[in-house]
């Protein structure tokens, strides 16, 4: 039950939409307002071309829908703002037909109204193919620095050259055939192109707003959006508030919003749980590992707990260019010394599964436990000690005490801290090695990853699209932007480069299995830990879906 104070707050918040003249919508006092959470601190960005991680994706997705999207529960590709599309016989050209007359909107804080954005002639600005040409060009523009440009660029003619600063925007295979027809030409045909065309950076953005406000265009007073919600308020480091966009026509992948407002609070996991139990939050996105047993045993909370299989991998990586992890035997020793079963069951909890390799088995073209029973890594303390000795012998060291000082870097939250402390103990008990822990706030962590990631680093992954290519080539190829450990393996690159364009499914799966063996066993560049499940707490009066990739479809949620 919510407290009387909460009821008063809900009464005062604005949201029920009624039409007004001049393309505006105001709110009334019987609003449906849901409060949920993300981890503490501001997102990296809600600018689609500068966003980087799953949290950013969660926060921008209701504002800037993609051409295609993944059904959050099944993983199936479904239409986004593209109602339909055709692919040419040679597989190189995809023609998207956009939903028509979906207006750009903004929230007017002075009037409390969601209103359509008008052009210089006083006519509504509708989402057009040209807005996608602009957004995609911006995503590939090297001066913008889009994090996922290297994923998109190979599937746009001229994209690789333009992103490298060697080509021209005019040479990109992006065409606005007419207002509602967007055409993309790729230099090569791959079966998962439609998934890549829906990644978080490949979104339409408002050229006029960006040109007027520069980097501040994403602030509430400047932002123009077109999705199921628009941005009402951003209290930096505290929360984002979304207002329903009543002008959004809805599509299969992005329906019209059922809620009038969503408040997303940025809180540490322990604070999220405390606020949830106090009745101040409706949905909790993070459950601290040390609270899971209590929640599961509580007669009320256990009924509000849902756990579903996920599609993310929790992992760490070695910096393969820094001692002592420039030695493959030392890397293998550290990986074999981890008891992943214990880590999943006793530390992280919540139905997590120990990871044998990097790409979760449920992902398209990934290895599976049935087809690849001998693939991957597991706890083997004897082999860990043998590898450690081999590494010490190669380095000319007499004992583990002579190894360079080792520091692990990771984002500072309850789960990461619990995992890091457990790994620290396992490495000390099995190898006699002491690892220093350096938890960082999110902003500092991401800056560190790009400039000086350190010897050991947290390096998990949630999918941009449903294909093993996204976990292997997109992350660990030698020139990948997310290859923070600077691992360089021509053999791995050849395997994943071949796999991405192989048309036979069985051949593709085998190539990815070989790539995983190189990554995890033979070269031990990555340390897969957990194949995530998704535990969540949801109040009984909330109806929602549960996203396996942690990117929630807030527009489908409802509250009594």
In a domain, 144, yes or no: yes
Q: Are residues 409 and 551 in the same domain?
A: no
Q: Are residues 40 and 58 in the same domain?
A: yes
Contact 494, 510 (CB under 8 A): no
Element (H, E) at 169: none
In a domain, 304, yes or no: no
pLDDT for 413-455, tens place per residue? 889 999 999 999 999 999 999 999 999 987 788 888 878 888 9
pLDDT at position 452 is 82
Q: Are residues 530 and 551 in the same domain?
A: no
Q: Are residues 89 and 30 in the same domain?
A: yes
How many CA within 13 A on the CB side of residue 373? 1
In a domain, 279, yes or no: no
Q: Environment class of residue 448 by beta-carbon count within 10 Å: exposed (0-12), middle (13-18) or buried (19+)? A: middle
In a domain, 282, yes or no: no
In a domain, 133, yes or no: yes
pLDDT for 283-318, tens place per residue? 998 888 899 999 999 999 999 999 988 899 999 999
DSSP states of 272-341 as a string? HHHHHHTTS-SEES---GGGHHHHHHSTTGGGGEEEEEEEEEEEEEE-TTSTTTTSHHHHHHHHHT--HH
Q: Is 233 strand, coil or helix? A: strand
Q: Are residues 221 and 185 in the same domain?
A: yes
Q: Are residues 177 and 313 in the same domain?
A: no
Q: Are residues 125 and 60 in the same domain?
A: yes
Q: Are residues 501 and 549 in the same domain?
A: no
In a domain, 125, yes or no: yes
pLDDT at position 337 is 98
Q: Are residues 400 and 530 in the same domain?
A: yes
Q: Are residues 520 and 543 in the same domain?
A: no
Hey, what's the torsion of the CAs at 519, 526, 482, 265, to 10 degrees?
Answer: 140
Q: Are β-strands 305-318 and 526-538 bridged in parallel, bridged antiparallel, or unpaired?
A: antiparallel
Q: Are residues 319 and 185 in the same domain?
A: no
> Domain containing 474 — which CATH number?
3.10.105.10
List, for the chain, all residue ranges whose pLDDT scores fall below the cut of 70: 1-29
Length of the chain counted residue by residue: 560
Tally of domains within the chain: 2
> Domain containing 95 — which CATH number?
3.40.190.10
Q: Are residues 125 and 169 in the same domain?
A: yes
In a domain, 281, yes or no: no
pTM of the full structure: 0.87
Domain that holds residue 507: 309-534
In a domain, 297, yes or no: no
């Amino acid at each position: 039950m919510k407290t009387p104070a909460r009821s008063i707050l809900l009464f005062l918040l604005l949201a029920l939409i009624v039409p007004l003249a001049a393309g505006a919508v105001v709110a009334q006092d019987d609003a449906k307002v849901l409060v949920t959470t993300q981890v503490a601190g501001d997102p990296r960005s809600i600018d689609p071309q500068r966003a980087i991680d799953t949290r950013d994706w969660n926060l921008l997705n209701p504002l800037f829908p993609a051409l295609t999207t993944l059904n959050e529960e099944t993983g199936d590709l479904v239409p986004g703002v593209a109602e339909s599309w055709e692919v040419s016989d040679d597989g190189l050209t995809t023609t998207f037909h956009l939903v028509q007359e979906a207006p750009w909107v903004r929230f007017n804080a002075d009037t409390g109204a969601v209103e359509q954005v008008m052009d210089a002639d006083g006519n509504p600005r509708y989402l057009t193919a040209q807005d996608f040409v602009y957004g995609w060009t911006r995503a590939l523009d090297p001066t913008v620095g889009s994090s996922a440009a290297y994923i998109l660029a190979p599937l746009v003619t001229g994209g690789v050259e333009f992103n490298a600063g060697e080509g021209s925007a005019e040479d990109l295979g992006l065409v606005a055939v007419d207002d509602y027809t967007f055409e993309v030409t790729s230099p090569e045909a791959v079966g998962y192109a439609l998934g890549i065309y829906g990644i978080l950076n490949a979104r339409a953005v408002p050229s006029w707003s960006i040109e007027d406000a520069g980097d501040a265009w994403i602030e509430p007073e400047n932002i123009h959006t077109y999705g199921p919600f628009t941005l009402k308020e951003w209290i930096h480091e505290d929360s984002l508030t979304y207002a329903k966009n009543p002008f959004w026509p809805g599509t299969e992948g992005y329906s019209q919003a059922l809620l009038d407002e969503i408040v997303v609070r940025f809180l540490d996991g322990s604070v999220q749980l405390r606020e949830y139990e106090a009745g101040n939050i409706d949905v909790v996105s993070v459950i601290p590992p040390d609270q899971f047993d209590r929640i599961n045993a509580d007669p009320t909370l256990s009924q509000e707990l849902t756990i579903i299989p996920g599609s993310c991998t929790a992992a760490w990586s070695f910096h393969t260019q820094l001692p002592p992890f420039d030695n493959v035997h030392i890397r293998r020793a550290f990986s074999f010394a981890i008891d992943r079963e214990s880590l999943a069951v006793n530390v992280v909890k919540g139905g997590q599964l120990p990871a044998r390799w990097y790409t979760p088995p449920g992902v398209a073209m990934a290895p599976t436990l049935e087809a690849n029973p001998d693939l991957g890594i597991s706890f083997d303390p004897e082999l860990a000690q043998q590898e450690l000795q081999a590494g010490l012998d190669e380095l000319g060291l007499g004992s583990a005490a002579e190894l360079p000082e080792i520091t692990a870097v990771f984002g500072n939250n309850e789960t990461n801290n619990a995992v890091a402390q457990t790994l620290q103990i396992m490495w000390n008990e099995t190898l006699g090695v002491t690892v220093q822990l350096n938890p960082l706030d999110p902003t500092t962590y991401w800056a560190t990853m790009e400039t000086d990631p350190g010897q050991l680093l947290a390096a998990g992954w949630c999918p941009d699209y449903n294909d093993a290519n996204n976990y292997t080539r997109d992350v660990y190829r030698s020139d990948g932007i997310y290859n923070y450990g600077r691992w360089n393996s021509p053999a791995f690159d050849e395997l994943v480069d071949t796999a991405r364009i192989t048309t036979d499914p069985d051949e593709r799966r085998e190539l990815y299995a070989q790539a995983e063996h190189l990554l995890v066993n033979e070269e031990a560049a990555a340390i897969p830990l957990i194949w995530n499940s998704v535990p969540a707490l949801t109040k009984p009066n909330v109806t929602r879906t549960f996203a396996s990739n942690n990117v929630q479809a807030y527009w489908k949620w409802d509250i009594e």
